[in-house]
Amino acid sequence: MASSSRIRIRSEEWDRRLHEVQVTKHDLNRLIMDYLVIEGYKSAAEEFCVEANLSPPVDFDSIESRMDIRDALQRGDVEGAITAVNDLNPEILDTNPALYFHLQQQKLIEHIRHGRIAEALQFAQEELAPRGEESPEFLSELERTMALLAFDSSPSVPSGIAELLSPAQRMKTAGEVNAAILESLSQGKEVKLVQLLKLMSWGETMLEERAEFPRVEK
């Protein structure tokens, strides 16, 4: 079985095997649908249901509210997002203290971003500080966020702190919320196409050590 020398698989042989792989267009359509739903492309998902004659995997309205929440977070409207999540299912935040903390942290970041220093301080003291005592992770996140105040808008802000103000931080929080909602709908939260690409990367890397084989032409 295990041999140290690399074997060479000719492309005709490889092509023959590609041909033998069992996958139908319907299977692939479902992978596409999975992507459209999880990533929240509601209209495209609806069209695809019709064109590809697939049964809707979820209530499309749930996609919409999920996307509204994501958009609210990406706009910086944390309060709106929290309300919407609670409208959707109050248990999501109740049962997920870390997620709730990260939303509060995001709210603090938005206060600081807009220079509402007094609100920021009050909010931190009233809402976040008590929670910071709950866990070391919360506390260090709180400290990191409060450091934003110290540096104000000076250009010498360490990147680890400045990144809190970047759009990526908003995306991160939004992604966390998205995953939590999907989980509450008992739906996969990991996009299958992403998993497929990861598997391919793994497979090619592993096989490289053992064989020479043709690559995918793009």
x/- string (CB under 8 A) for other proteins, residues 183-202? -----x-xxxxxxxxxxxxx
Q: What is the token pair recorded at 100?
A: 């709730």
Q: What is the token pair recorded at 69?
A: 């929440």
Let me know how long the chain is: 218
The DSSP output letter for 164 is: G
Tell me if 58 contacts other proteins by CB under 8 A.
no
Closer to other proteins by Cβ: residue 54 or 121:
54
Contact 84, 69 (CB under 8 A): yes
Tell me if 23 contacts other proteins by CB under 8 A.
yes
Q: What is the token pair recorded at 8?
A: 């060479």
Q: How far is the CB of 214 from other proteins (least distance, A)?
A: 8
Q: What share of the chain is helix, strand, coil (3-state, %, to 5)?
A: 70, 0, 25
Contact 108, 120 (CB under 8 A): yes
- Residue from 8, 19, 150, 155 in contact with other proteins (CB under 8 A): 19
Tell me if 60 contacts other proteins by CB under 8 A.
no
Listing DSSP states for 108-163 in one string gives HHHHHHTT-HHHHHHHIIIIIHHHHTT-HHHHHHHHHHHHHHHHTT-TT--HHHHG
Left, alpha or beta for 186 (phi > 0: left; psi -120 to 50: alpha)? left
- Residue from 5, 8, 12, 53 in contact with other proteins (CB under 8 A): 53
The residues facing 7 across adjacent strands are 211
Tell me if 10 contacts other proteins by CB under 8 A.
no
- Residue from 5, 22, 153, 156 in contact with other proteins (CB under 8 A): 22
Tell me if 166 contacts other proteins by CB under 8 A.
no
Tell me if 98 contacts other proteins by CB under 8 A.
no
Q: How far is the CB of 182 from other proteins (least distance, A)?
A: 14
| CA separation for the pair 176, 70 (Å, rounded) | 10
Closer to other proteins by Cβ: residue 40 or 76:
40
Stretch that binds other proteins, among 43-51, 70-78, 92-100, 149-157 (CB under 8 A): 43-51
Number of residues that bind other proteins (CB under 8 A): 62
Tell me if 115 contacts other proteins by CB under 8 A.
no
Q: How many other β-carbons are positioned within 10 Å of the β-carbon of residue 35?
A: 16
Closer to other proteins by Cβ: residue 12 or 25:
25
Residues at the interface with other proteins (CB under 8 A): 1-4, 7, 9, 14, 17-28, 30-32, 35-36, 39, 41, 43-44, 47-48, 50-54, 171, 188, 190-207, 210-211, 213, 215-218
